[in-house]
Chain A
Amino acid sequence: MHPVLKLVVQRLALGLVLLLAVSAVIFLGIEALPGDTAQAILGQAATEVSLANLREKLGLNEPALTRYFVWLWAALHGDLGVALTNGVDIATAIGQRFGNTLFLAGCAAVISVPLAITLGLVAARYNGRWPDKVISGLTLTTISLPEFVAAYFVIFLLTQVFPIFQPVAMVFPGMSFWAKLNAVALPVIVLVMVVLAHMMRMTRAAILNVMQSAYIETAELKGLTPMQVIWRHAFPNAIAPIVSVVILNLAYLVVGVVVVEVVFGYNALGQYLVDHVTKRDLPVVQAVGMIFAAVYIGLNILADVISIGANPRLRHPK
């Protein structure tokens, strides 16, 4: 078997074990939280009797272990069940919201990844001079703003001062692609601001690191322009660290943007997860947790594969 293929298979198998462990940890975590679903739903309006009745109805009186294994058995058969709180079919709800999560993450990635890498290359080319300082200064400023501050800033600027976009970014099935793009414009701008600096700085650092090597000097001596040196000789050798940072940021765009979702009212998975954690709605938390964990594990496998692919020594082991 090809070593890369073997590695992928090994990683996938390990990933499945990891997912199982994650589901157990999530279950324990939710059980350890004070209060249960019935209390969370009824809140201040609870009485002893209505609590007992609701617990009975929701099946919360079963022992914890039984509930876990019932869930696990069903989940292994592809049945995610219905939400305890409102009886909505989880697979359907998640399907739509996961699509929205990927749409937002995708839009942000399509803009931010090429932009960050280009800016990183330019910053490395003009290391220490004004383009480097301007690029670094701007991106470090945008990453230093907390997400909600950046969000309020773009809301103020682009819906009030210049009324170009709408502050509430909900998307619905049946909207045209352009309408959807228009709706998510503001959260995409904020996310680009947030992830740009990390990827840009890493590209810059990795290139500068490679630029210290002897073969770069050779390339310069044979008369290549600085941009040609970077593009042809430095960049291919700096891919591995850049890719791992890019993947880390992609994972963040999928699983970590709940604050941006809340500010813009964007209907994706993050807000959905937080709502159900608050209500101790175990089946939903499990399902979303599994998806987030799978995305993380999957993207990390991808990062490793790309790193190996970019490195001839690893690609063709002796």
Chain B
Amino acid sequence: MKACDLAIIGAGPAGMAAATEAANAGLSVIVLDEQPAPGGQIYRAIETVPEERRKILGPDYAHGAGIAQAFRNCGATYIPEATVWNINPDLSIDYSRHGGSAQVSAKHLLIATGAVERPTPLPGWTLPGVTTAGALQILLKAHGGVGDDVVLVGSGPLLYLLAQQMIAAGKPPKAIVETIDRERYIKAARHLPRALAGFGYLRKGLSMMRQIRQAGVPRFSGAHDIRIEGVHRAEAVVFSVGGKAHRIETTSVALHQGVVPNQQATRLLGCDHAWNESQRCFVPKLDVFLESSIENVFVAGDGAGIAGAKSAAMRGRLAALRVAQKLGHSNGADIRALQADLKRDEAVRPFLEALYAPSRDILQPADETIVCRCEEVTAGAIRRAVDLGAPGPNQVKSFLRSGMGPCQGRMCGLAVSAIIAERRKEEPEAIGYYRLRPPLKPLLLSELAQLEPEATRSEPL
């Protein structure tokens, strides 16, 4: 088994920056990542993207190239295409790679597994042709693919960024259907003074809006009662705005209601989590150095609470510096400055969270709407299970198999907790979340049988 001072799961901005910082401080570092190349989702394909596409994606994306290069040169052991399927309490990590399994052991662990899209249960959201907005952005970033009749639906900055990138690629979206209404702007406005500290973000937002307007993309604000129609695949988006019904024909609907921390690894380890009402999601409880309730387990990047790519890299550095300090490799001199930078970078968040709060349509879906996509469990079935006495997601899971399909609750967990909380008139914090167990991802018995504790088959950089 390969041993190291710091094991990092995830090679997005947080994981890459942490590995670089830790390796530079003299720590032995192993980075496990599921993708074939570093970058995570935000900087996906950053090392191989053609110049033309890099221009389309914009300077914030291009910024990742420097982070990836520093990571490549830092001397950390990088193990790509590695799917972590278990983390033991002694911080040994089991992963599968190329059909076999292997283990690494670590003194400290940094979970940098980023964010996932918030569940968006709507009628018709399981039809082929309906994706997350993130999925279409990945298709563009990594593969240069773009749709010719995409309708973007929901709420959040990613919708406008994707629209801007599609415009730059010469295929503007057919329409943007926003679930944000006038009331949201009023609610968000009181956070504006603080957000002004993050003026750079606000200016970028305004510039995106201007480009979308200039491209003539139709925008519908305050949409509700959204559903996707189609028999074998998406054919149209139907919604209402102020009592007026709309129908837009399309073969591609991209849903987005913000992103939320990917909790799989922190839940598996049993880290404490708290409900963040402003972000409407569970966030692991962390100290000011990003150490979780479990000693020597750190969380950085959007998995520590949604704050974006810049903060992710800073958080990665902060966690790495703290580990270096604990091991006597650093005097921790930069820690305070990093904490101050982080605070500044996050100033815009309360404004964005209030403005782009998820819509009621998806937080409290209609009874007949599928919530657990894998096991096809509806919101109504979950409510009936609650009425029968199920106090939380794990009992609902036993009753209905929600969260027991191959995605292991990744796509429904938050929605299920929110539906139960509303039905029981309790706070999500009291309701809790699915209990996660290994394997974190389905694996073949042959992969388990080939567990090679001594040979990690890793390729040093």
A and B interact physically: no
Residues of A within 8 A of B (CB): none
